């Protein structure tokens, strides 16, 4: 599993601005790919694709920060690739620079109309292509940082409900395409209203921060997401995870909060703060909706509460 810093990089604005850029170079001629690789390999992580279909697959798997895309390719040309990527919510914000031997105003206009941000002619001048890529990467990183700021919960510094909803839809589609399971973990702080009433709202906020930190300190993979769902509720999204894996993670989360040993004199089930956890998993298909899985996870959370709290309950949807 990846360390927590990897998990945080998608929504932490500081890490967004300092992360090593990821470039995808797409060209059906290996010599052209190699030339661009030599220009950017020192300062960037460079991925390569030799066809339009392969480029789309790499984009969805690696999510590059910028694409250098050849226009003239067999089977699927760069214009069609650009249109497909711009029509997909997961990839539409990736800037695309067309790199082509064509230099007519009509071709450049066509490329810009389908969503490209720039147009570079072959043979490329290393200094020029480096400068243009730097400009568009800077704009992309600034845009990502602004989106990250809008997606952070102000109290806990976890991703907020807005980002969670966006990621749930995106990961639901990705798991549906791959035919793999997706897991949701719903978390509620037990008897939190009593805690707030007894210790005061400042201590209540501090309690939520400690619970959030315990969630963040778990080892998460790159696509996993833990977020504040609202109030004293948290939610975890785990793509490509079956029920056994999700239940194991849920128990780890429960145990970590218990280990905090935050005093709670008015709790009906312990002398310290605990959480109840509901888990639901399924393999998405065209007949299921992500909201249904979320509702089932909430039902399992209710079962965990009914069973005495400080526990977990889970189910796999057929």
Catalytically annotated residues: 232
Count Cα atoms within 13 angstroms, Cβ side, for 289: 4
241 sits in which H/E element: none
d(CA 43, CA 134): 11
DSSP 81: H
Q: Report how far residue 24's alpha carbon sits from residue 47's, in angstroms, rounded to the nearest whole number.
A: 5
Report the alpha-carbon distance of residue 94 to residue 117 in Å, rounded. Answer: 10
Residue 317: helix, strand or coil by DSSP?
A: coil
- Backbone CA torsion sign across 297, 298, 303, 305: positive
Establish whether the linkage from the previous residue to 302 is cis, with ω within 30° of 0.
Answer: no
How far apart (Å, rounded) are the C-alpha atoms in residues 241 and 93? 27
- The Cβ-side half-sphere exposure at 94, using a 13 Å CA radius, reads 31
Least Cα distance to 258 among 162, 178, 187 occurs for 187
- Which pair of structure tokens corresponds to residue 147? 């989106």
Query: What is the rounded CA–CA span in Å between residue 16 and residue 219?
Result: 20
Cα 3 from Cα 267, distance rounded (Å): 33
C-beta separation of 314 from 308 below 8 A:
no
């Amino acid at each position: 599993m990846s360390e927590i810093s990897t998990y945080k990089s998608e929504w932490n604005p500081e890490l967004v601005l300092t992360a090593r850029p990821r470039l995808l170079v797409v060209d059906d001629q290996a010599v052209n790919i190699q030339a661009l690789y030599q220009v950017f390999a020192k300062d960037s992580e460079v991925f390569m694709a030799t066809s339009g279909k392969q480029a789309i697959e790499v984009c969805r798997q690696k999510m590059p920060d910028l694409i250098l895309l050849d226009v003239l390719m067999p089977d699927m040309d760069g214009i069609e690739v650009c249109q497909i990527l711009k029509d997909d919510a997961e990839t539409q914000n990736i800037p695309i620079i067309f790199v082509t031997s064509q230099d007519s105003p009509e071709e450049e206009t066509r490329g810009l109309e389908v969503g490209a941000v720039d147009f570079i002619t072959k043979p490329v001048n290393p200094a020029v292509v480096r400068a243009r890529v730097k400009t568009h990467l800077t704009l992309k990183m600034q845009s990502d940082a602004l989106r990250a700021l809008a997606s952070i919960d102000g109290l806990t510094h976890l991703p907020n409900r807005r980002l969670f909803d966006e990621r749930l839809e995106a990961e639901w589609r990705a798991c549906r395409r791959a035919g793999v399971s997706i897991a949701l973990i719903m978390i509620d702080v037990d008897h939190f209203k009593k805690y707030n009433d007894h210790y005061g709202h400042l201590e209540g906020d501090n309690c939520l921060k400690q619970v959030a930190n315990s969630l963040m300190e778990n080892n998460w993979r790159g696509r996993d997401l833990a977020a504040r769902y609202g109030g004293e509720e948290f939610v975890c999204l785990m793509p490509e995870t079956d029920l056994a894996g999700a239940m194991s993670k849920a128990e780890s989360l429960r145990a970590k909060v218990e280990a905090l040993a935050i005093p709670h004199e008015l709790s009906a089930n312990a002398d310290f703060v605990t959480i109840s956890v509901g888990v639901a998993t399924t393999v998405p298909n065209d007949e299921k909706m992500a909201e249904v899985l979320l509702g089932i996870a909430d039902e399992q959370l209710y079962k965990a509460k009914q069973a005495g709290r400080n526990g977990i309950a889970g189910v796999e949807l057929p």
